[in-house]
Structure 1
Amino acid sequence: MSALTLAAGLHAAAETEKIGNPAVNIAIFGAFVAVTLVIVLRASRQNKSAEDYYAGGRSFTGAQNGTAIAGDYLSAASFLGICGAIAVNGYDGFLYSIGFLVAWLVALLLVAELLRNTGRFTMADVLSFRLKERPVRMAAALATLLVVFFYLLAQMAGAGGLVALLLGISSTAGQSVVIAVVGALMILYVLVGGMKGTTWVQIVKAVLLIIGAAVMTAWVLAKFGFNISDLFQAAIDRAGEGGEALIEPGKAYGATSLSKLNFLSLALALVLGTAGLPHVLMRFYTVPDAKAARRSVVWAIWLIGIFYLFTLVLGYGAAALVGADTIKAAPGGVNSAAPLLAYELGGEVLLGLISAVAFATILAVVAGLTITAAASFAHDIYASVIKKGQVSGDGEVRVARITVVVIGVLAIVGGIFAQGQNVAFLVALAFAVAASANLPTIIYSLFWKRFNTSGALWSMYGGMISCIVLITFSPVVSGKVDPVTGESLSMIKDTGIDFHLISLENPGLITIPLAFVLGVVGTYLSKEKPHPEKFAEMEVRSLTGAGAEKATEH
């Protein structure tokens, strides 16, 4: 990874030969931004109510929403981070793809249809149905904002590294300007287009991303006679001594007992986190009924699954044609694998096209994250907690738009400090928070009659606080060192500071079971009387859809 320091100040990324033609790259970027702005402006004309701004008027079909979910989910972590992880770590890098995909089965079977039947705009609508509204909404909104913050860090870091590579920018100051531009565009998209404009940008981006990945995959396979074994062998040969580790488990996660625990923790976070990601859950409210929500997930599973098969070929293709050392030395580090492979295959034109797709990926995902955070603050904290429901839809949307600007500024600042981190890993931290703070409460609320407000608060705050504490005192922030080079790989570098207390890099193995246990403990310690009639009403609504229309008309 390229160097980044929080304590000693930002400094230049690793120098590398500039690739591609900056003029071509900027022209393709500009064309994409112009087209998507037109889409957003056209969509904004239909925003007449809070339901239009937050949920796109619930007017999207299952296929459209499934494609948008794929566009929301296939982030910079998927295209940039996973390709880089596979190129450098081979088999173990592909475990990210497997975890991200398997996670959708949890979302399909446990939450998609049930949430659509019981909610209105946000996850907190579901949780507050049978629990005390104000404290639960506040906790759910804080959890949403925390998950969104980690996810935005990943997207912003990816944007800085990608555009730095394309424009030959090796200084962190230049990358910081790029991150600021991405943040400004994100704010503009969400302010103007709301959920409807954001959804269409995500649909366009998903189509472009899958087509672009398919073209590159076919191109890579053609170079090796469409023989996957020859591709693997070329990657092994390019890696030199010990290259066989690329096709065997254990290169990143199998060498020691600790690395195996790290993998187990990562896998838990990825598989369980998707069903608690607020920006994914919010997409279920953009369709007219639960059947469409279920169809959305089926479409998303197919599209995402196909894409992740492409990442296997692209990652090994980058290892074979570009080489891990070249990738790690580039501005953006491992996140540069896919753009470097595009340049190797088709020169500056393919590089420009694929990088524009990656840029579109980042813009679409940050827009989706931002509107989710804005909706959560305006709908759950401002309208429901501060104003106690005594606010008009227009007033709520106005606060949401102000929130968009604040979140955009925070994302820019955070993204500048996150430069050089592997975006797939940063997203994994967001998944850990989602799986710890959100999923246990959602599951208990939907399926456990005895569950109460105290249990929800214990679970959500316990999951959030434990995640923050364990991440802060993990090797990710301080103390992680490359065993080969001795280079610091943690967020605080070149200072000799090391205050990590646990050795796990992802806290999911500890925090997810802890949050489930806290939900039980908090429930049984509380003197709050259960409300079986509310649970019965919620169960009927969640399973049959009866009363779902009522939930959208408050």
Structure 2
Amino acid sequence: MNDVLGAIHTAIESSVSTVENNPLLNMSIFGAFVAITLFIVIRASRNNKTAADYYAAGRSFTGPQNGFAISGDYLSAASFLGICGAIAINGYDGFLYSIGFLVAWLVALLLVAELMRNTGKFTMADVLSFRLKQGPVRMAAAITTLAVCFFYLLAQMAGAGGLVALLLGIDDAIGISLVVAVVGVLMIVYVLVGGMKGTTWVQIVKAFLLIGGALVMTIWVLAINGFNLNTLLESAVAQSTSDPQDAILGPGLQYGANPWDFISLAIALVLGTAGLPHVLMRFYTVPTAKEARRSVVWAIWLIGLFYLLTLVLGYGAGALVGPETIKAAPGGVNSAAPLLALALGGPLLLGFISAVAFATILAVVAGLTITAAASFAHDIYANVVKKGNVPPDGEVKVARRTVVVIGVLAILGGIAVQGQNVAFLVALAFAVAASANLPTILYSLFWRRFNTRGAVWSMYGGLAAAIILIVLSPVFWGAETSVFKVGTAIWPLNNPGIVSIPLGFFLGWLGTVTSRKPEDPVKAAEMEVRSLTGFGAEKATHH
């Protein structure tokens, strides 16, 4: 057995250095992929006439279709590239990302999904401003939405740069920057042409391919190890560079030195999903609340299956490729899954898996961009600036212009964060979502007394706390992986969730109890009835 593993290692080490010898095959698989998805987007975009078509795909998707699209939106580059790399290097502690992302779905399903669908129209701010003052609440919700989308976009762009760098053997910063720019331009085209309907179909196709590709690789890895998980773990331990070697099977390798960082990360992962605007927006693409529930159940099955597969893929990459080879490859930690594909099926499987990972990035980025654009055009432009006096096509025009601006910002940010672990960057987006959005969503849905001051304090306070703590933390200062390698971090934790999330809840409560102005009790009662029963929601979505 060890002889076989040794032979595989030698082959991989020689092939990692020659990955760049086969860029033609990789790029042709890539090109075919982009061509097919563009064709789908153009076909889907024919009916984009109204804002409801552009933002919510005309509410034309069924529960299972939307379930695939949600899993397509949710299983980002972080889930595939970041988590596989984290498990390959840090074992047990890397798998905690998978568990956190999955448990988070239960929070979204039980507390938020159906109630949001019943109350809203296009965006999260529709729900929050339903019974509060339109102007300040919409403005705050749009700003927090844009902030979360921006952090999440950075993560996807970092993944794209690392992935294509590995495929084309590009090591220099200028080459990687060009790659990030190409991803950004492609994403702008997808969203401009396809709107939510085109984006949704790309996500459905991508979810099929990603889960299918991961399943094939998992079965392959298990077959090499005689379908014995024990053998696989022993091989991973044998290749591990940790001290002692079996440390990758137990907790503490990554977070042992600072358990507070782990608790902070865990809170952010579990509570973040229910506040992610691009996932919440997916609930509006189905016609009824019942379909919204069905879509979440489908999504949980698909996402649950995928995260189980990451355990085998991560340890498989550790066993067959080895942590040292992964860290040394272009793309670093994020290259574990593509290198495992190279080890198993040679350049052809590498090309396919990389194309799938690339499609993953494109689909998620498109979903994020359309959410951010909808938030700006629908909430800030149409409802705050123009007070609802917008011609029928005016809102969509502004949304399309916003897409271009967001695309350019994402390209510039993506170039700045090259080399960071993607799963880690996404955890920051989750922390911002859980701090700025979740308290207001839960208070709006479940606390009758909640008012405008509470909402505004909670959103701005949670957002500011999360961002300030990130800027003062080792993410920015003084470590090898920091944005700036100089200086020392003032705040010791990498993830701000442990402080910023409770602070968001506290400020929502404090703002409400210190405000003398009661909100409209009739609106509060109407929102409660509508969120729980769906009564009136269908009427609201068709006007």
Tell me the TM-score range normalised by the shorter chain: over 0.9
CA distance in 2, matches of 1:146, 1:386: 20
User: Is 1:291 equivalent to 2:293 in the alignment?
Assistant: no
Per-residue Cα deviation, 1:63-101 (whole angstroms, up to 9, x for no partner)? 000100000000000000000000000000000000000
Give the corresponding residue for 2:383.
384
Equivalent residues of 1:18, 1:167 under 8 A apart: no
Equivalent residues of 1:66, 1:295 under 8 A apart: yes
User: Is 1:520 equivalent to 2:512 in the alignment?
Assistant: no
User: Is 1:198 equivalent to 2:199 in the alignment?
Assistant: yes
Equivalent residues of 1:58, 1:287 under 8 A apart: yes
Equivalent residues of 1:141, 1:376 under 8 A apart: yes
Give the corresponding residue for 1:544.
533
Aligned to 2:476, the other structure's residue is in SS state: coil
Deviation at 1:172, TM superposition (A): 1.2
CA distance in 2, matches of 1:441, 1:401: 28
Letter in 2 for 1:393: P
CA distance in 1, matches of 2:46, 2:519: 46
CA distance in 1, matches of 2:64, 2:506: 38
Give the corresponding residue for 2:373.
374
Give the corresponding residue for 2:279.
280
Equivalent residues of 2:83, 2:95 under 8 A apart: yes
Deviation at 1:553, TM superposition (A): 3.4
CA distance in 2, matches of 1:465, 1:527: 25
CA RMSD of aligned residues (A): 1.1
Aligned to 1:421, the other structure's residue is in SS state: coil
Equivalent residues of 2:218, 2:309 under 8 A apart: yes
Deviation at 1:48, TM superposition (A): 1.1
Alignment of 1:133-532 (within 5 A): 133-239=134-240, 242-254=244-256, 256=257, 259-480=258-479, 488-493=480-485, 496-498=486-488, 500-532=489-521
Deviation at 1:108, TM superposition (A): 0.3
Give the corresponding residue for 1:9.
none
Letter in 2 for 1:429: L
Unpaired runs of at least 5, structure 2: 1-15
Q: Which moved more, 1:238-247 or 1:73-82?
A: 238-247
Aligned to 2:227, the other structure's residue is in SS state: coil
Letter in 2 for 1:447: F
Aligned to 1:552, the other structure's residue is in SS state: helix
Per-residue Cα deviation, 1:192-223 (whole angstroms, up to 9, x for no partner)? 00000000000000000000000000000000
Per-residue Cα deviation, 1:354-405 (whole angstroms, up to 9, x for no partner)? 0000000000000000000000000000000000000023000000000000
Deviation at 1:37, TM superposition (A): 0.5
Letter in 2 for 1:509: I
Equivalent residues of 2:131, 2:519 under 8 A apart: no
Give the corresponding residue for 1:30.
31
Letter in 1 for 2:98: S
Unpaired runs of at least 5, structure 1: 1-15, 481-487
Give the corresponding residue for 1:19.
19
Deviation at 1:528, TM superposition (A): 1.2
Equivalent residues of 1:87, 1:317 under 8 A apart: yes
CA distance in 2, matches of 1:167, 1:345: 19
Equivalent residues of 1:77, 1:423 under 8 A apart: yes
CA distance in 1, matches of 2:182, 2:143: 27
Letter in 1 for 2:296: V
CA distance in 1, matches of 2:83, 2:223: 22
Aligned to 1:262, the other structure's residue is in SS state: helix
Per-residue Cα deviation, 1:439-462 (whole angstroms, up to 9, x for no partner)? 000000000011000000010000
Equivalent residues of 1:131, 1:452 under 8 A apart: yes
Letter in 2 for 1:242: P
Letter in 2 for 1:118: T
Equivalent residues of 2:69, 2:204 under 8 A apart: yes
Give the corresponding residue for 2:12.
none
CA distance in 2, matches of 1:251, 1:529: 51
Equivalent residues of 1:54, 1:195 under 8 A apart: yes
User: Is 1:535 equivalent to 2:524 in the alignment?
Assistant: yes
Equivalent residues of 1:55, 1:286 under 8 A apart: yes
CA distance in 1, matches of 2:437, 2:484: 29
| Runs of 4 or more above 6 Å deviation | none
CA distance in 2, matches of 1:448, 1:534: 13
Deviation at 1:479, TM superposition (A): 2.1
Deviation at 1:530, TM superposition (A): 3.2
Aligned to 2:47, the other structure's residue is in SS state: coil
Task: Give the TM-score, by structure 2 length.
Answer: 0.96
Aligned residue pair count: 527
CA distance in 2, matches of 1:294, 1:441: 22
Give the corresponding residue for 1:110.
111
CA distance in 1, matches of 2:129, 2:407: 28
CA distance in 2, matches of 1:177, 1:479: 28
Letter in 2 for 1:246: I
Per-residue Cα deviation, 1:274-328 (whole angstroms, up to 9, x for no partner)? 0000000000000001111111111100000000011000000000010111111
Aligned to 1:506, the other structure's residue is in SS state: coil
Aligned to 1:393, the other structure's residue is in SS state: coil
Letter in 1 for 2:350: L
CA distance in 2, matches of 1:517, 1:551: 32
Deviation at 1:229, TM superposition (A): 0.4
Deviation at 1:27, TM superposition (A): 0.2
CA distance in 1, matches of 2:154, 2:25: 27
CA distance in 2, matches of 1:18, 1:85: 24
Equivalent residues of 2:378, 2:395 under 8 A apart: yes
User: Is 1:40 equivalent to 2:28 in the alignment?
Assistant: no
Aligned to 1:155, the other structure's residue is in SS state: helix
Task: Give the TM-score, by structure 1 length.
Answer: 0.94
Aligned to 2:435, the other structure's residue is in SS state: helix
Equivalent residues of 2:109, 2:296 under 8 A apart: yes
